[in-house]
Structure 1
């Protein structure tokens, strides 16, 4: 028993390296990781290995997962954590994977009437405070096939996870070397502009106007998949996200050689 306990602890803190063939195969399929410079690719590989060792994947409703798909999910989940380090992955354990969209039962309390209503909401991703990361495998695959369309469900939900490291989601993750007051001020101004613009009048998806937390998650997707759009629309927010996440892989160049499709 002591030997097994030691092996379990060692695997948790010193995970086995990802096998070269599996890593190369996943790198070909993940343009966001493929465009990272070699140093950040190595960092991502180590972080993804830690993610796989510490998180438990659960395939639900007939979803089929193998080592390849677990790695592809881990790679994208760890991209937003590259700048922040492994400590930013703390506080939760489970990754729930559905084959496609999934239903969530919601309760809504009307403050004026006191009436509580329930209904189903169709989602492609969800992140709970201290709870699981929930993803639609079909949408993960779509984001891999269309990496520069402004959307990435894994990045979106991981932004929520980072946001919730210091409490309920409010659009302000724990910050290092970024003035908190500046972050709050610039994000609030940008959020207010989006709300005032109304649907269809900004390149930023109007879903971001749901809350400060959703705004942070949506512009995080843009940072990784359409940073030029974000820089043109909200340059101050783009600058802050560059400082928080590091350079966007969308601004990188395709590597030469065997990593091309």
Structure 2
């Protein structure tokens, strides 16, 4: 476990064996897990289902297999970090597709801007994770395209564990300093490329903020690891240490 503190958790009931056999068949990433990491993922998914409420909305229905697949996807980023990555929130809200959320911000001139934004995922610092089921299914159908919305939002949850969304999750002190330095350097270079109008190997959305850079790079670790390693070898090395070896 990477998390530097521990707390006692209630032991979750094990997964139903029939569900545990059926659910992974629909998740291509799980084929890259050895027996030990697969057992770890099963235990994490069991804890997720025991501790989190999965709430489908707007008429969406999710059966037991689909709920377990969601739990497994959300727990992939926790294989090395451990169950402490589930701390501090209690609900996964699932929309049928993209959803709208009201946003407001004050610009550099002090002017308030308000409006609606269409989202496929969201992670509240002290609240739920929200996902678009259509986009989760699209990620499963094309697992090597560089996108995984569940991983993206769980990266935000890991980032927020130390109370600050800054692209640096809680780590041992020496590693955290090196991580922050290496990610900042890579982020600054990436932003310069985007601002200059040049094409980028990674989704330009990663230039939005350091926390989005971390979350987008996390998606590539799971869905296009060779591309990430080619484009940003130092970032890829940190993520391989943090998340474990790539699965694709």
TM-score by length of 1: 0.88
Equivalent residue, structure 1, for 2:104: 107
Matched, 1:233 2:231: yes
4+ runs of 1 displaced by more than 4 Å? none
Corresponding residue of 1:166:
162
Do residues 215 (structure 1) and 213 (structure 2) align? yes
Q: 1:84-233 maps to which residues of 2 (within 5 A)?
A: 84-112=81-109, 114-176=110-172, 179-198=175-194, 199=197, 201-233=199-231
Q: Deviations for 1:192-244, whole angstroms, at most 9, x for unmatched residues?
A: 11111125521111100000000000000000111100111100000000111
* Cα displacement (A) at 1:98: 0.3
**Contact 1:178–1:243 (8 Å) recurs in 2:** no
Q: 1:147 to 1:200 in 2, by over 3 A?
A: farther
Deviation of 1:182 (Å): 1.1
| Matching residue within 228, 242, 245 for 2:243 | 245
The 2-side partners of 1:45 and 1:179 are apart by: 28
Cα distance, 1:176 vs structure 2 = 3.4
Q: Distance in 2 between matches of 1:120 and 1:63?
A: 22
Please report how far the alpha carbon of residue 103 of structure 1 lies from its aligned counterpart in structure 2 after TM superposition: 0.2
Partner of 1:56: 53
RMSD: 1.3
Q: Is the alpha carbon distance of 1:115 and 1:143 closer, same or farther for their aligned partners in structure 2, counting shifts above 3 Å? A: same
Contact 1:97 1:135 in 2 (8 A): yes
Alpha-carbon distance between aligned partners in 1 of 2:174 and 2:99, rounded to the nearest angstrom: 37
Q: Which runs of 5+ in 1 are unaligned?
A: 1-11, 251-261
Which of these residues, 38, 44, 48, is aligned with residue 47 of structure 1?
A: 44
Instruction: Measure, in 2, the Cα distance between the counterparts of 1:143 and 1:58.
Output: 20
- Size of the alignment, in residue pairs? 238
- Do 1:191 and 1:212's aligned partners in 2 also have CA atoms closer than 8 Å? yes
Q: Whose radius of gyration is greater, 1 or 2? A: 1
Instruction: State the SS of the aligned residue for 1:64.
Output: coil
Instruction: Using the TM superposition, give the Cα deviation of residue 118 of structure 1 relative to its aligned residue in structure 2, in angstroms.
Output: 1.1
Find the aligned partners of 2:129 and 2:193 in 1 and give their Cα distance: 31
**What SS class does the counterpart of residue 149 from structure 1 fall into?**
coil
Partner of 2:103, secondary structure, is strand
- Residues 92-137 of structure 1 show CA distances to partners (whole Å, capped at 9, x for unaligned) of 001101000000000121231x221210000000000010000000
Q: CA–CA distance in 1 between the matches of 2:158 and 2:119?
A: 20
- Distance in 1 (CA, whole Å) between partners of 2:168 and 2:55 is 29
Where does structure 2 lack aligned partners over 5 or more consecutive residues? 1-8
